[in-house]
């Protein structure tokens, strides 16, 4: 690969890997009065049939009404010349994730968050995708090389070989592997991240473990494995910034497999071991209350959170109700 093309794609993935090198390609696109993406009114299968005949890639915008970033992306990107330029030469379709067709789509591709734009090969295999939206220039910096057929994965793997301790690269590769449903490679990368960042010093270990838990739950429908991964976040990183989401995620997985009692016993033990982890204790109490788990041990967590200055006086009332076992 020519060096300037390597530099271009690395600038694109820079938003995820290093936060630098974001390249404002949008400013180079000539503006047209009515330029916008020509979305095709096709189902996924219809789009793939057309792609097979024409040997084009398919670009899919996965969205939902409740997704604020999706709506902003529509205005900032898809209704502009920059968006039209990005979609040139591809079959562009939209998928509403909340519809039956959208749910069927997400059983085929591991979407764990919105917005996400997925690029498929004509045979329906995933070529690459961009998840999340911050700004048009940063999005285009990552998406444009993909739209032109440049695969970032082997470049990133080569980068990690040159810099084997780079946690941002490890996390970016974990995402790529799971996007492509390469579970074994993803698990190996997560193991590598946890070994490299055992104290979660940069917050990447908790993010990587949570990402794996979502993938296992949302896409693989393996709630036991997802529960085990959420437990890793809570047990290893009790003061993690994502502790609330991990506790909520762990409950949903436990409930899906009928292990609410096990969840309560486990979480109470973790809260007891970490009385100064205010957010953990707060989230334990509030999550239990939210799902109707009124256990005295969660009352202890509620009082521990208040002692650490986390939460309002409402926690005192919740603690009393939990001690009584009723509202």
pLDDT tens for residues 262-293? 999 999 999 999 999 999 999 999 999 999 99
Q: Which residue has the higher pLDDT, 95 or 23?
A: 95
The answer to whether the Cα torsion of 96, 100, 102, 103 is positive or negative is positive
Residue 63 lies in a domain: yes
Residue 62 has pLDDT above 80, yes or no: yes
Give pTM, 2 decimals: 0.85
Phi-psi region for residue 240, left (φ > 0), alpha (ψ -120 to 50) or beta? beta
For residue 234, tell me if it sits in a domain: no
As a whole number, mean pLDDT of residues 296-320 equals: 96
What are 68-123's pLDDT values in tens digits? 999 999 999 999 999 999 999 999 999 999 999 999 999 999 998 999 999 999 99
The pLDDT of residue 303 is above 50: yes
- Whether residue 121 is contained in a domain is answered as yes
For a pLDDT cut of 90, what percent of the chain falls above it?
A: 87
Residue 199 structure tokens? 């104290």
For residue range 98-113, what is the model confidence (pLDDT) as tens digits? 999 999 999 999 998 9
Q: Radius of gyration of the chain from Cα atoms?
A: 22
Provide the domain limits for residue 41: 3-150
Q: What is the CATH number of the domain that holds 8?
A: 3.40.30.10
Domains of the chain: total: 1
Residue 274 included in any domain = no
**Secondary structure class of 26 (helix, strand, coil):** helix
Classify residue 319: in a domain, yes or no: no
C-alpha to C-alpha distance for 134 and 217, rounded to whole angstroms: 26
Alpha helices for 30-162 (secondary structure H) = 44-54, 68-73, 81-86, 100-106, 136-147, 152-162
Mean pLDDT over 312-318 rounds to 94
Query: Which residues, including other chains, have CB under 8 Å from residue 51's CB and lie 6 or more apart?
Result: 57, 58, 91, 120, 121, 122
End-to-end CA distance of the chain: 65
Q: Contact at 8 Å (CB) between 196 and 170? A: yes
Averaged pLDDT of the chain: 90
- Is residue 32 domain-resident? yes
For residue 158, the SS3 value is: helix
Residue 1 has pLDDT above 70, yes or no: no
Note whether residue 109 is domain-resident.
yes
The contacts of residue 191 (CB under 8 Å, 6+ apart) are none
Q: Is residue 82 part of a domain?
A: yes
Which residues are CB-neighbours of 188 under 8 A, at least 6 positions away?
none
Name beta bridge partners: 61.
94, 117
């Amino acid at each position: 690969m020519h060096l300037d093309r390597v530099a271009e794609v690395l600038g694109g993935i820079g938003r995820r890997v290093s936060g630098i090198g974001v390249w404002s390609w949008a400013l180079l696109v000539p503006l047209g009065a009515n330029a916008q993406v020509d979305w095709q009114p096709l189902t996924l299968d219809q789009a793939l049939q057309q792609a097979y005949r024409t040997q084009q890639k398919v670009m899919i915008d996965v969205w939902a009404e409740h997704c604020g970033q999706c709506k902003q992306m529509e205005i900032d990107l898809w209704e502009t010349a920059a968006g039209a330029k990005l979609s040139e030469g591809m079959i562009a379709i939209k998928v509403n994730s909340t519809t039956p067709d959208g749910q069927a789509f997400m059983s085929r591709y591991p979407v764990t968050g919105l917005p996400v734009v997925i690029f498929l090969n004509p045979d329906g295999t995933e070529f690459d995708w961009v998840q999340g939206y911050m700004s048009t220039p940063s999005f285009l910096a990552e998406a444009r090389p993909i739209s032109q057929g440049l695969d970032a994965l082997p470049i990133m793997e080569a980068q990690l070989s040159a810099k084997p301790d780079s946690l941002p690269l490890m996390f970016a590769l974990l995402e790529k592997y799971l996007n492509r449903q390469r579970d074994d490679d993803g698990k190996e990368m997560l193991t590598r991240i946890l070994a490299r960042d055992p104290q979660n010093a940069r917050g990447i270990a908790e993010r990587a473990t949570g990402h794996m838990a979502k993938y296992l739950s949302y896409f693989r429908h393996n709630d036991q494995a997802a529960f085990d991964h959420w437990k890793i976040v809570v047990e290893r990183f009790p003061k993690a910034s994502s502790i609330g989401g991990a506790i909520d995620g762990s409950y949903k997985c436990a409930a899906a497999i009928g292990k609410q009692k096990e969840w309560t016993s486990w979480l109470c033990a973790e809260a007891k071991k970490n009385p100064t982890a205010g957010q953990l204790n707060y989230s334990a109490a509030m999550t239990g209350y939210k799902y109707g788990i009124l256990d005295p041990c969660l009352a202890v967590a509620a009082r521990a959170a208040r002692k650490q200055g986390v939460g309002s006086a409402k926690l005192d009332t919740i603690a009393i109700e939990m001690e009584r076992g009723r509202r």
